[in-house]
Structure 1
Amino acid sequence: MTKQERTSERLCAGALPDPGAVDNIIEQASDIAVMVDEAGVVSGISVSPECPSLGCLDHWVGREFISFLTSESEEKFTARRREMLGDPKAVPRPVELNHIDNATWEFPVRYTLHRVTGQGVLLLGRDMQPVAEVQQRLLREQQARERDQQRLRGGETYYRVVLEASETPMALVDPESGRIRDINSAAAHLLGSEPDTLAGTAFAQAFEGRRRGEFMEAVHGAAQASETKGVEVVARRNGRVVMVFPEFFRASGDLVLLCRINLVDEKDASGPEFTQALAALFAASSDAIVLTDSKGMIRDANEAFLIMADAAQLRDVKEQSLSEFLSRGAVDLKLILETAAKSGRMRSYAAQVKSIVGTRAPVAISAARLRHRGGDLGFGLILREQTPSDYPAAEGAVAVSDEAMKNVMDLVGTASLKELVSATSDVVEKMCIETAVQLTGNNRVAAAEMLGLSRQSLYVKLRKYGILNSDSEG
């Protein structure tokens, strides 16, 4: 018996299903079944009702199957079909084809090819569109994750570069464990070590005589204080005295301590020797020096100011407003403090100081706003007494013009003194207004207060004497 006869007997043994039910079996066993004849034309098609996404494909019948394939799938199908028809014993192998329909709709299907004697090739396919959608979703998620990782790496790079480039010694400390999470080179070198050596170690170990619990309690207290407050410590490795200024911030829900480290050394400008020198200069200066708070209340004054104010001791002037010792009072003080607060300093403001007993002395006042480590310490003022020889050289001094003086002199002998005074009052008035405008830095409101005029009256006189030009009116 030949091999062909044995195969025929094996196929004929038992009972085969009803041919009428084969269509239902094919429909249920695959998502799509396509019968392609010997010429490559679709002779029949069946789409499972479980795959509504494929839609109705009845219009494929009578048309070439390859006309509904992409160019890459067309080559794959042609090669596999040629292989199937050329070798009847070829084992069916799956092939994935991408279909196109109506020029826009594209969907992948995984087919197995089965030769049907006398009819062509039967393609049983499984819709791969759900799988493709899952793969695309995974691909998008992976790409989004890669973008996030790139952004994180970029942000970490920026952070590292800025931290290292900063000249301010800084360390990031975990508030719970007290360990250094990160530290820049400036801080590590100030403490006599390297960043890699200090990172991960207890912050308290970098300083002498400090237990971790005690040190972290002091750091937490300084960070929670309403005002800027530091903790003075001594570096263990080099013995330097430093101040640690901590502050809390939150990152990704975690609380972190940012600690700025400043050097405190006797050789440093902020050390005791320098402080003593400043104190000696303050006491021995021949110019009057006054320290006030932000509102102009006197906090301290040197001996030269006490002499100028005819005060016996500091308590006679302390806690009083500096305006009490200025001839124009609150007007002078307001102009000085506002100018110093705005620009940081003010130089050579002409004023008069009145003493406790009522004497007056002309002075030139210089002022500066005092700040230290971000805190406002008020104002410092230097009052230098002026002599008559200083007046002509005073900056911005207003003098009567020669023409005005000549006009006044020409009137002598032609009118009474009363008429002369009346005729020259305009000259004096103009000179006073110009002086007030210059002293106040062209501040019209302050000039009006200084002259005892309303603002409207001052504007009228400014226009009368041509002092108020078109530019200043705006």
Structure 2
Amino acid sequence: MTSFKAPGKSLGPLGAEVAASVIAAASDFALVIDSGGVIRDLALTNEDLSRELAGGEGWVGRKWLETVAEDSRGKVEALMREVESRAAPRWRHINQGTPPGGSVPILCTAVRLGEAGRAVIFGRDLRPISDLQQRLVEAQQSVERDYTKLRQAETRYRLLFQISPEPVLILDAAAGRVLEMNPAAARLFGTTAKRLAGRPLTEALAPDSQEVLRLLLAGVRISGRSDEATVTLVEEGQEIGVTISPLRQEDSLTFLVRLAPARGELAPVPAKSKLLQAVEGAPDAFVVTDHEGRILDANAAFIDAAQLANEEQAVGQSLGRWLGRQGVELDVLLGALRQRGSVRLFATALQGELGTSTEVEVSAVSVREPGGRPCYGFAIRDVGLRLATGPGRSEPLRSVNQLTELIGRVPLKDLVREATDVIERLCIEAALQLTGDNRASAAEMLGLSRQSLYVKLRRYGLGDLGPENGDPEGALPQ
């Protein structure tokens, strides 16, 4: 601790006003107390602290000990003893009481004033530091939670990697060295697997296949897209298919390598696989999504209709990016699937990446695996040609139920028009039924002229529109 060596000479005589200014400027909170610990004067230079402490109103004349929180009274007494013993001042954390019954953290120290038995309490507001500490604790807890989630995810994927029946390897992108290999891949390579760790994968291939793999690795490294080829193992001369996908981790690039028997060695295709092949080659688009509508798989017809280059551009994206006019059709479809399990002939539009729009009909079904969340299959058929060559809707809506099915599929103004037509038709049918099909009486009941009623009858296709009892000849407009 270093103090002034000649304060009388360097500072000169200081008056009370100057000393008060110096004390106030040196702290956020200053008290002048006597030998009994009674507050004789105070200064609050921090505006926020002054508002929190109500300007120290009512403090003058009270003991400082009475204005602090109960848990800080021992510290105040220790400060007072240090003043009496003229010990070196120490900073202590004091919780200063506030009018509503709370407290404010303040860092305090005491300095004795001459021989009069009085002392000055200097205080610094600790709230900014407390806020920083609180944010630091919250940030640390958030990091710990994220780290725990990351470790759990890593454990899950590590387990999947190990138990996967498909042979999988992780390669270093720069040199093609094997970094990791799952048990299925080790069984495929046989005795060669033991010496492959940390060695190039080409060492496990026949000489004529090594250059094929090098070119495949170089192509994936440059294009950043998955690619595949057929190579021959050096052991037993077995042909296998190799699919390489780029796997970027932070600033490094690795390759995910999947191995499978070459196409010529595949077993006969089961019946379900034949069905999947038929769906893949169907002229109608077919898409499988998860429970939130994100695409898991799509056939070639959908990729072509959505004007995409490959399936990878669709996987993981929301189907609503391409399906629907109003932006709510996918939500309507998913809601119906969750409630009913299937949807038939839902009319909407399919938007292409290049701006084209195609009228389509969608049929969908919900499939749930035991203990898992459902996934949804969407069959999407292009009906643009049918609508273009037809006269419009084949027949008018005849019931409220048919009208309800249009909600979410057509704009509100069209719904209102359709609703008006349905109500008008139902009213005319009811009037004809009540009057025994007497159109003159029905027109009077509805407040219409007979000519207007005939026009509406013709519009809705009601009755034979021939002369009838009670109608004059020639009343029907031609």
TM-score by length of 1: 0.46
Larger radius of gyration: 1
Q: TM-score scaled to structure 2, two decimals?
A: 0.46
